[in-house]
Structure 1
Amino acid sequence: MSKVKEAVEVDVPVRTAYNQWTQFETFPDFMEGVEEVRQLDDRHNHWTTKIGGVRREFDTEIVDQMPDERITWRTTTGDTAQKGTVRFERMDDTHTRVELVMDVEPSGAAEKVADMLGTLDRRVKGDMKRFKRYVEQRGGESGAWRGRITPGSSDTPL
């Protein structure tokens, strides 16, 4: 499994950065290779990606979510194995550090070669830069979900 870690400082309050990240269906607007994310419910998303000509579909489950602090997920179906956490750290009233850490298990020969060449690292770095531009240019979030999810719990909106 490969670990990818990238952080950016965004010029928006922590609440804005967090709220925008919870709008999973907007991910194709700033994530390269993500064609569609459909939010199935508060915990589950269905992803369609196309990277290097290879199309993948998989489902993810949010296993831990604390508003303005973190979102942790893992894949549940499909041939893409990954888990990760995005953390939000308030720098001051108008700046937030957003850090993404992912563990990804490349599947297939092409993905393994791409991983060895650092393609995933570069892609995540680009995605985080594009998120920064996306959220800063919007001037505010496009929506929000402020619920709390803990491992083994039912959804508990705040």
Structure 2
Amino acid sequence: MSASLLESVDIKAPVSVAWALWSDVTRWPAFLSHVRLVEPMDERRFAWQLELPGAEKNFVAELTEVVPENRIAWHTVEGVDHAGVVTFHRLSDTTSRVTLQIEYDPKGFVEHLGALTNLDSTLANYDLGEFQKLAEKTAR
């Protein structure tokens, strides 16, 4: 059985700015509080290091879809079982909405990482808030 998480944030920055930040996976640790490191292995695969309360986790994720200024999707190929997609929506010339959706195996995540996981919606909201700050600062 899988679980899913869906969170959105509206940003006072154009889609192009939001996209530029998300599409460079090496920048993810700047706004994803639980991600310590994302290292490209090749054009599609990335090694992740997560730091969570009481656990560290390494896994490999592969990009499954990249549509510029529209969506980025990935799934894990090694380690924990999860998949995600970030979509970008133009609200106006100067505002955009970023939506994060993650599907995961709660049994695998919770057992491997303890009750507090990076998929807790409070943390997802916090991370999107951090992303919002970064994007709005970048857009100025």
The CA distance in 1 between the partners of 2:20 and 2:38, in whole Å, is 16
Structure 1 residues 110 and 83, CA gap change in structure 2 (3 angstroms): closer
Q: Report the secondary structure of 2:19's partner residue.
A: helix
Query: How far does residue 42 in structure 1 lie from its aligned partner after superposition?
Result: 2.4
TM-superposition CA deviations, 1:97-140 (whole Å, max 9, x none): 1000001223253746336xx96111111111110001111237
RMSD over aligned Cα atoms: 1.9
- Structure 1 residue ranges without an equivalent (≥5): 141-158
Query: Map of 1:44-63 to 2, 5 A cutoff?
Result: 44-63=45-64
The CA distance in 2 between the partners of 1:114 and 1:105, in whole Å, is 14
Look up the match of 2:84.
Answer: 84
Look up the match of 1:102.
Answer: 102
Look up the match of 1:113.
Answer: 115
**Rg larger in structure:** 1
The CA distance in 2 between the partners of 1:41 and 1:130, in whole Å, is 27
- Structure 2 residue ranges without an equivalent (≥5): none
The CA distance in 2 between the partners of 1:125 and 1:2, in whole Å, is 17
| Partner AA of 2:41 in structure 1 | L
| Partner AA of 1:109 in structure 2 | E
| Partner AA of 1:16 in structure 2 | V
Maintained 8 Å contact 2:55/2:113: no
TM-superposition CA deviations, 1:31-70 (whole Å, max 9, x none): 1111101122221111001111201100111111111111
Maintained 8 Å contact 2:5/2:119: no
Maintained 8 Å contact 2:60/2:78: yes
The CA distance in 1 between the partners of 2:122 and 2:104, in whole Å, is 14
Query: Map of 1:1-158 to 2, 5 A cutoff?
Result: 1-78=2-79, 80-106=80-106, 107=108, 108-109=110-111, 111=113, 113-114=115-116, 120-139=120-139
The CA distance in 1 between the partners of 2:112 and 2:123, in whole Å, is 15
| Partner AA of 1:91 in structure 2 | L
Identity %: 26
Q: Report the secondary structure of 2:127's partner residue.
A: helix
Query: How far does residue 83 in structure 1 lie from its aligned partner after superposition?
Result: 0.4
**Higher share in helix:** 2
The CA distance in 2 between the partners of 1:134 and 1:40, in whole Å, is 26
